[in-house]
Amino acid sequence: MRGPSTAGALAIVGAVVVLGSAAAPARADGELTMRGVYYKERSTRVIQPMLDGKGTVGDNGEVDGHLLVDAITSASVAAGAAGEAFSEKRLQFGGGYLHRVMDRFRLGASGRWSREPDYDSWFVGARGDVALADDNTVIGVAGGYGHDLITSNAPNMRSGGFEGELTTKLGSVSVSQLVSPRLVIGATYDLIYLAGVQHSPYRSVRVDGVLMPEAHPRTRLRHAAAASARWSGPGETTFIASHRVYDDDWGILGLTPEVRIVKEVDAGLEVGLRYRFHWQRAADFYQDEYAPDDQLRSDDVKISGFTTHTLGFKLAVYGRALGLPERMAEWRGEVIFEYVDQNNRFGNAGIAHAALSVPFEY
């Protein structure tokens, strides 16, 4: 079955916005963001254009739509190529709706769907939150269910007629607290259960001199807890710190602290710096070499042990800083450059983002 065209996906996102505006008051607020991401590492390049739109619906509703296209080029055998470069495209779109009830509660639902030549995926979710103590405390819960269909039908790839399925169940709780006019803290806990095929049909593992397909466990239980703090300091400077701890029943443990600083250097001009450290312990069954009687085998770098250091710089400019007319004064342009130093087979990577956000009324 052929997937929808990019134009068709755009039409669906547009329909979400049109339906929302049809029920909206005479003057409602919305925003359209166009973003492009370029990622390059030793053997892989990803170009990713994105389109996001959001807007108000009536007096208490918010609607959003999302479209993404990945163009991946890789020469990595581990990524699945049969010793040669391959290219693959992924199309994803989705949307959601959030409704405020009695000025204290918000309830929402969302969904997304994506397709690659060898991968179909969909996910639906629901969430809700309640504001307490004069809106100083917000408690949220969320849940979701997803289904993936994996085949070995990608062009220029080894194919063995493989087909498998994967289901995902997600539960999440969060809390945020306004401690002072300048300080907000938050915490989140996610529980994810996966069942089904969790290895790549393209990767092979060398076992006693013979290439054999990967074999991962059929189930996986993931835990992730994160804490954050955001402080608005003097001189229009914001400091953000966070730490995430990840653990699963495959034996992987991940620790990811991060710090960011955002500074408004002039009216309508912001600069930001980011540092992120990630340390990961390998899965219990991950090895450099396997014996013939090993039931679990993997060549997936993402479940190996490694560390990464990410350094980022951001520059954001509003239209008013460029002297644009009033209707364009709140347009926001943004560029982000990041360098990732990592000690695994992927090698170091460079990432560039560029975005334009256009607020509007309808």
Q: What is the pLDDT of residues 84-110, one digit of tens each?
A: 566 788 999 999 999 999 889 999 999
Q: What is the pLDDT of residues 173-216, one digit of tens each?
A: 999 999 999 999 999 999 999 999 999 888 889 898 888 889 99
| Tokens, residue 195 | 């069942």
Position 118 confidence tier, pLDDT thresholds 50, 70, 90: confident
Count of C-beta atoms within a 10 Å radius of residue 289? 9
What is the model's pLDDT at position 270?
96
What is the model's pLDDT at position 327?
85
Position 136 confidence tier, pLDDT thresholds 50, 70, 90: very high
The CA-CA-CA angle for residues 262, 263, 264, to 5°, reads: 130
Give mean pLDDT, residues 268-297: 94
Position 146 confidence tier, pLDDT thresholds 50, 70, 90: very high
Range 6-361 has CATH code 2.40.160.40 = yes
Is 223 or 199 the better-scoring residue by pLDDT?
223
What are the residue ranges of helices labelled H in the chain?
6-22
Instruction: State the DSSP string of 73-98.
Output: EE--TTTTBSSS-EEEEEEEEEEEEE
130, with CB counted inside 10 A (0-12, 13-18, 19+), is middle
Segment of 9-18, 40-49, 350-359 carrying the highest mean pLDDT: 350-359
- How far apart CA 289 and CA 287 sit, in angstroms, is 5
- Least confident span in 8-22, 64-78, 176-190: 8-22
What is the model's pLDDT at position 208?
84
Name the pairing type of β-strands 204-207 and 44-57.
unpaired
Q: What is the mean pLDDT of the chain?
A: 88
